[in-house]
Amino acid sequence: MSRASRGKKNKRKLKAKAYSETLIEKSEWLYENGMLELALQKATESIANNPESYEAYIQRAKIYSALQLFRMAIDDYNQAFRLDDSRQEILLERG
């Protein structure tokens, strides 16, 4: 892989990560304002955009819990922990 193509790939990855973070912020705002279905859509879109984002999985897990979809919440907390096992608070949130 050439240096130029690696640079383009890294740029795309950084843009995807920034976009994913924006989606998480939107999802958090929607969640805090009781718009759970829309918040879920944004969190899921964030995961689709950046599947390595443990923050997106945590956000979606919180929404699933609020919707009483506990099995799905646990699955997302587990995935978040797999992505970053240094975050012990994920286990506490998962319960």
Q: What are phi and psi of 2, to 5 degrees?
A: -75, 165
Tell me the average pLDDT across 45-70: 96
Distance CA 95, CA 13 (A): 32
Confidence of residue 62 (pLDDT cuts 50, 70, 90): very high
- With cut-offs at 50, 70 and 90, classify the pLDDT of residue 50: very high
Q: What is the pLDDT of residue 5?
A: 58
What is the rounded radius of gyration, in angstroms, for the C-alpha atoms of the chain?
Answer: 15
Specify the DSSP class assigned to residue 44: H
